[in-house]
Amino acid sequence: MCGGIINRFFTVMISSRSRGDSENSELKVTVKETRITVYMYSRQVIQRSFKMAAPIRKSVELFYDVVSPYSWLAFEVMCRYQQKWNIDLKLRPFFLSGIMQGVGFNQPGPSKASYMGKDLKRQTDMYKVPFKMPSNPAEVILIKGSLNAGRFLTAVDMNCDQYLEELTRQLFLRVYYRDEDITEPASLMSAAAKAGIPEDMAKQLLSTIKDQAVKDRLRETTQAALDHGAFGSPTIVAHVDGKPQMFFGSDRMELMAHMLGEKWYGPLPELAKAKM
């Protein structure tokens, strides 16, 4: 198609530019100028063709709470794949307690709690995430919670989202590797420093966590997850062909890859080439 357009363009240009010319030298100049014009035109056509053929990037939202250990697994895997897959990953920190209240969730019984401890050990080994169960997980999850951490992440997302990924990682490390607090201002400042946020900026962000705008944003994000059908953390929403596809948990990555039309190389995609 492109060749046909160019050939017709070339013929018209020569006939129109050389009509009535009597001198052979003038015709040569006309042909030379026409070739340059056609060359520039063909480049534009080819460039437009490549742009038209470029695959559309799909949007994937990761709703998570740093008090959820399974969210850490999903977070790390999605961060590993955000450059390998043709996706735009949007980190969406929400408030897990708000989700639980919204769906009327009851706390897991002792059998399920025992299973989760074993399951997390197996999964974190496979995912290569340095997980350690806190000394008092009930206090961390049920009593202290993550409201201040969620608001701090929200403030960062609203003002300087380039730090959101690493701050999220540092908060996960505090809770589920070093068994450290994530509720006190000093704890949040420490995580911010490790995430590379300048101290003055971190102080300013921390001072806004009780602002109504930050509270409203966290509430809106939590409601958005509920509207997608969330009932826990992590909740992942992949937008495929204009329709949201919701996935719960850290173990639905292969299915999500299939829905996205992407390849799943396991939890460690950087090792895929070595295995092939």
Q: How far apart are CA 10 and CA 28, in angstroms?
A: 14
Peptide bond into 234 cis (omega under 30): yes
Per-residue pLDDT of the chain (276 residues; tens, 9 = 90+): 554 444 444 444 444 444 445 545 544 444 455 454 544 555 554 455 445 556 788 999 999 999 999 999 999 999 999 999 999 999 999 999 999 998 887 667 778 888 988 999 999 999 999 999 999 998 999 899 999 999 999 999 999 999 999 999 999 999 999 999 999 999 999 999 999 999 999 999 999 999 999 999 999 999 999 999 999 999 999 999 989 999 999 999 999 999 999 999 999 998 765 443
Q: How far apart are CA 13 and CA 28, in angstroms?
A: 13
Lay out the sheet containing 243-248: strands in order across: 87-93, 58-64, 235-240, 243-248
Cα 26 → chain centroid: 60
Statement: the pTM of the whole predicted model exceeds 0.85: no
Whether 60 contacts 87, CB under 8 Å: yes
Q: Cβ distance 163 to 156 under 8 Å?
A: yes
Q: What is the DSSP letter of 144?
A: I
Enclosing H/E stretch for 234: none
